[in-house]
Amino acid sequence: MKKWLAFLSIVLLTCCNVPHWAQQVKGTDKYNMDISKFGALSLMAVDVASNEVIVQSNPFQRMTPASLTKLFTTGAGLVILSKDYQYETKFYLSKNQDDKNVLLIVGGGDPTLGSNRFDATKAELLFEKVVKVLMLQEGVYNLDGGIIIDNSCYAGIKQPSKRMWEDMGNYYGAVPNGLTYKENAFHLSLQSPKGVGKNCSVVKTEPCVNLDFKCLVKSADNNKDSAYVYGNVYMDEWYISGTIPQNRKEFTIKGALPQPEVTFARELREYLRINGIGVGDEINKQLLTNVRGEKKIIYTSYSPPLNEIVSVVNKRSHNLFADHILFAIADQKQGEATWDIGVKELTGFWNSKIPEFSGLFFDGSGLSPFNAVSANDMVEVLTWMNQSEYSTAFKESLSIAGVDGTLKGILKEDEFKGKLIGKSGSMNGVLAYCGYLKTNEGKELAICIIANRFTEPFSEVRKKMEDLMKEIIRQN
C-alpha cells in the first residue's frame, strides 16, 4: 500500500510540475501531428467567430517565429500609423557659407525611395521631378555649393543587437536608414574560373561602394548561388565566402548597401549634371552648419500609403520594409526612432491588446533568431485584427495559398487553393505558417503552426504541415 501511495505521490508531483502549455492539448487525436521526430512544435487553430479551439498542442510554448514576426509589426503599424500613413523626404534650397546654392535633402525614413517595386518611387522619376522644380520653378541651373544630406531622423546604432553576423552584409539583412535608397542593396559581380574549388575574384559593384573586398569564394560544380557577403556599416573591409558556379565571367550576388544616403546623393548629382544643372563636388553629410540663412522647401517626395508597403512586407516577406515600419512606430510614439524604442513600443502595443501576451521581439522583421512567440500569441493577434477596423487592410496584405506571395507553393490543388491567407516564416531549423483558414463547413479559423529545431529536410516538414492543414479543412 505504501508503495502505491509513493507512486501516486510521484505521479501527482510530476503532473503538477508539467508546464502549462504541455497540458493544453486538444483535437490531436483527430489529426496526424507527427511533424518532426526531434524538433519542437507549437500549434493552435481557433474559430474566429465562436472562439472554439479546434486543435492545439503546446500552444503557449514560445518559439522562434522567423518572418511571422512581420504580422505583429504590420498589424501594429496599421493601427498606430494608419493605413494612409506616408513617409516624407524633403528637398530644400539654401546657401552655404560662401553664398553658393546648396541642395539640402532631409530624409524621413522612406523605405521605398528609389525602389522599383512601385512606379511612383523609381529613382529616375524622382530625379526628373527635382530637375523640373529647380529649373522651371526656382530658375536654378547651378548648385555650386553641392548637396547636403541629412539622415539623422534614424540616429543611433545601425545594427540591432540580436542579429546573426552572416545576415548583416547580405541584401535581405539591410537595415533602415533615414535616407534608405533602392532598398539599401548593391550588386556585386564575381568571376569564377573553370574547374572546381578554384579562387574567384570581384569584378565590380553596382552602384560603386567605397569598400575593400576580400574574396574567399570558390568555384563549384553546380548552378547554385551559395556565396554570402560579410560586413557592416562600421567596417571598411568586407569579405565574401561560399561558392558560385564555375566558369562564369560575371555572377552577380547582392549585398547590403553600407551608406545608402551617400549613394543617393551621388546618383542625384550625376543626374542633375547630365540634365543641365551644374553641381559642386561637395556631398556633405548632416553638416547643417554649412547652411546659411533661410532654407526654402522646394519639393516633398511621398512614399506610397502604408497599406501598400504592408502588402509588400507580408506577401514578399520584405525585411527592410518591416523594420522601417518598426522605426516609424518608435518615432510616432516616442519622437525618436531606434531599435530599442521600436521593439519596446511593439511589445507594449500587443501587451495592451492581448491578455497574457508573451511575445519577445528584437526587430520588426523576424530576422533575429532571438524573437520568440507562441502559437497562442499569433492566433490571439490574428483574432484581434480580424475584429478590428483594420481587418480589411490587414487581410488584403496577406499571401493567398496556391496563388501568390510566400504561400504560393502550398495548398495548390483546386480543393484547397485560396483556403488560407497568411504568412510563412523560415530560417535554419525553423518553419512556420499562420493566417486565416477557411474550412469545408465555412468556418474561418485563425491558425498558427511553428516548428523549431528539426533536423528533417524542409520539404518533409513542409509537407506534413500542409497535410495537417488539409485535414483541418476537410474535417471542419
Query: What pLDDT digit, counting tens, does each position of 50-88 carry?
Result: 999 999 999 999 999 999 999 999 999 999 999 999 999
**Residue at 424 is within a domain:** yes
For 412, the grid coordinates are: 495548390
Q: Say yes or no: 285 and 360 in one domain.
A: no
Largest CA distance in the chain: 102
Q: Of 320, 362, 367, 371, which is closest to residue 343 (Cα–Cα)?
A: 362
Q: Say yes or no: 395 and 463 in one domain.
A: yes
**Residue at 176 is within a domain:** no
Look at residue 4 in the predicted model and tell me its pLDDT: 39
Q: Say yes or no: 328 and 411 in one domain.
A: yes
Indicate whether 467 pLDDT > 60.
yes
Q: Say yes or no: 362 and 469 in one domain.
A: yes
**Residue at 168 is within a domain:** no
Q: What distance in Å separates the CA atoms of residue 184 and residue 167, rounded to the nearest whole number?
A: 14
| Contact (CB, 8 A) for 214 and 177 | no
**Residue at 336 is within a domain:** yes
Q: Say yes or no: 295 and 327 in one domain.
A: no
Query: Cell 509537407 identifies what position?
Result: 463
Domain assignment of residue 241, given as a range:
187-256
Stretch 117-124: mean pLDDT, rounded?
96
| Contact (CB, 8 A) for 378 and 71 | yes
Query: Cell 508573451 identifies what position?
Result: 358
Domain boundary among 241, 269, 304: 304
Q: Say yes or no: 52 and 127 in one domain.
A: no
Q: Of 343, 437, 414, 434, which is closest to residue 66 (Cα–Cα)?
A: 434
Q: What is the DSSP annotation of 22-71?
A: HH-EESGGGS---S-SSSEEEEEEEETTT--EEEEESTT--B--GGGHHH
Q: Say yes or no: 107 and 196 in one domain.
A: no
More confident residue, 29 or 186: 186
Q: Say yes or no: 218 and 272 in one domain.
A: no
Tell me the per-residue pLDDT of 231-290, one tens digit each, with 9 for 90 and over.
998 899 999 999 999 999 999 999 999 999 999 999 999 999 999 999 988 777 755 555
Percent of the chain topping pLDDT 90: 85
**Residue at 39 is within a domain:** yes
Of 224-233, 289-298, 443-452, which has the strongest mean pLDDT?
Answer: 443-452
Q: Say yes or no: 326 and 195 in one domain.
A: no
Indicate whether 6 pLDDT > 80.
no
Domain boundary among 238, 256, 274: 256
Look at residue 18 in the predicted model and tell me its pLDDT: 35
Whole-model pTM?
A: 0.92
Look at residue 156 in the predicted model and tell me its pLDDT: 82
- CATH number of 289's domain: 3.50.80.20
Assign 312 a pLDDT band (cuts: 50, 70, 90): very high
Indicate whether 8 pLDDT > 50.
no
**Residue at 347 is within a domain:** yes
Look at residue 16 in the predicted model and tell me its pLDDT: 36
Tell me the per-residue pLDDT of 79-94, one tens digit each, with 9 for 90 and over.
999 999 999 999 999 9
Backbone dihedral region for residue 41 (phi beyond 0: left; psi -120 to 50: alpha; all else: beta) = beta
Assign 5 a pLDDT band (cuts: 50, 70, 90): very low
Q: Edge-to-edge strand order for the sheet containing 283-285? A: 283-285, 147-150, 101-106, 88-95, 292-302
Stretch 135-159: mean pLDDT, rounded?
92
For residue 131, report the phi and psi dihedrals to the nearest 5 degrees: -60, -50
Q: Say yes or no: 287 and 364 in one domain.
A: no
| Contact (CB, 8 A) for 86 and 328 | no
Q: Say yes or no: 352 and 431 in one domain.
A: yes
Indicate whether 454 pLDDT > 80.
yes
For 471, the grid coordinates are: 485535414
Backbone dihedral region for residue 292 (phi beyond 0: left; psi -120 to 50: alpha; all else: beta) = beta
Q: How many CA atoms lie within 13 A of 297 on its CB side?
A: 7
